[in-house]
């Protein structure tokens, strides 16, 4: 019924008594069965994904789901992608994506890689900004004395917040 990978009920698309156009997908005379498709009436969103969502382009996406390793987002119906947790921020240590965003939120992303065969987009958020680490290495070089605020204590040490949004252990 839809190119989207998100499981939904037929009730989300149709009501009893609706008239619909459909494509015949299979016809089995012996079993007296026929299957129809509605999504086939629309273009496959992956048909031109490499042009529409080329590597390096920026887009807005809706946050659909979290895992421990990242955020699944939908750029358009039928085109989903993953922002790996390591691609959310250059400077913040994010333990779980819900510390960074929420389900249903719109988030800007950059296309990092396209796997058309498996219908997967690798996306990034931190890539919207320049990598600050080259400047930070000069500013916070080894043996530099810095001021910071303790933001977390663990059994092994402390996380200290420095200027420019940098956290250090």
Residue carrying structure tokens 């219908």 = 119
Task: Write down the pTM of the prediction.
Answer: 0.71
8 A C-beta contact, residue 163 and residue 91: no
DSSP 123-150: EESGGGS--THHHHHHHT-TT-----EE
* pLDDT for the residue 30: 92
Share of the chain above pLDDT 70, in %: 95
Task: List, for residues 103-120, the tens digit of each pLDDT value.
Answer: 999 999 999 999 998 989
Q: How many CB atoms lie within 10 A of CB 100?
A: 19
Task: List, for residues 18-64, the tens digit of each pLDDT value.
Answer: 888 888 888 888 998 988 887 777 878 888 899 999 999 999 999 99
Phi, psi of 87 (to 5 degrees): -105, 15
Phi, psi of 86 (to 5 degrees): -75, -10
pLDDT of 156 above 70: yes
Considering only the C-alpha atoms of the chain, give the largest distance between any 2 of them, rounded to a whole number of Å: 82
Q: Which domains does the chain have, with CATH numbers?
A: 10-41 (no CATH), 49-128 (2.40.50.140), 145-169 (no CATH)
């Amino acid at each position: 019924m839809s190119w989207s990978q998100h499981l939904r009920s037929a009730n989300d698309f149709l009501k009893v008594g609706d008239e619909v156009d459909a494509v015949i997908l299979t016809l089995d005379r012996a079993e007296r069965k026929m299957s129809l498709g509605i999504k086939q009436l629309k273009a496959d969103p992956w048909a031109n994904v490499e042009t529409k969502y080329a590597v390096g382009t920026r887009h807005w996406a809706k946050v659909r789901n979290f895992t421990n390793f990242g955020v699944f987002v939908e750029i358009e119906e039928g085109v989903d992608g993953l922002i790996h947790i390591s691609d959310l921020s250059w400077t913040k240590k994010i333990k779980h994506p819900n510390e960074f965003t929420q389900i249903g939120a719109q988030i800007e992303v950059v296309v990092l890689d396209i796997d058309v065969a498996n219908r997967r987009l690798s996306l990034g958020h931190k890539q919207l900004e320049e990598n600050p680490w080259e400047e930070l290495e000069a500013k916070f070089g080894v043996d530099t004395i810095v001021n910071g605020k303790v933001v977390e204590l663990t059994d092994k040490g402390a996380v200290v917040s420095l200027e420019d949004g940098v956290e250090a252990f």
